Amino acid sequence: MGAPRPALADAAPGTIYDPDADDVVQAELAADAAAAATREAELRESARIATRADELQALRELGTMEQTEPRAGDEAARDELTRRAGGYVQADIDGWLAHGLAAHLGRYRDPAAREEAASLLTPPVLTHAALLAELARLVPDSDMDQLAFTARLAITEPEAAVALAAFLTRACPPHP
């Protein structure tokens, strides 16, 4: 903190108050501006998430989700869609994210994004991705329709699905 400010009453007669020279006023104005900038950034981010959620919903309704790859922020868009649906999670959105994560598509090409996904996606989605990755490694020509059972297993028996993914990894280690 700086030196104590003289009280306005202690100012010389005829002194005109200048808020531009008042450190306290300037600090308050700076804090207000920073808070406004933070609110504006939060609003822009919310709008971006809502727009992406609308895009994903449209792709979902058209049955063309597989034609796009996950982008940064899609986990938040998933959460927005879940919020809009009153807690109901759309299985096809989760399946699309799990497939993207397992196949390292879109944003998930980056190992840091895959690591970040572990804190952003739900355990069933992560488990589904782990199963997809292991089964695709074991049967490279399999397609997502053939592996649809993995989503049901990850949702209904998550502990068993995690154990199965770990077992498959151990039973058939990747080739060097």
pTM (two decimals): 0.71
Domain spans in the chain, listed from the N-terminal domain onward: 23-171
3-state secondary structure 116-168: HHHHHCCHHHHHHHHHHHHHHHHCCCCCCCCCCHHHHHHHHCHHHHHHHHHHH
Contact 143, 173 (CB under 8 A): no
Mean pLDDT, 10 residues at a time, the chain of 176 residues: 57 78 84 90 94 93 90 94 81 90 94 94 89 84 77 81 83 65
What pLDDT is recorded for position 7?
A: 59
Contact 56, 77 (CB under 8 A): yes
Q: How far is the C-alpha of 147 from the C-alpha of 144, rounded, in Å? A: 5
Q: Residue 170 corresponds to which tokens in the numbers above?
A: 């151990």
Q: How far is the C-alpha of 32 from the C-alpha of 42, rounded, in Å? A: 15
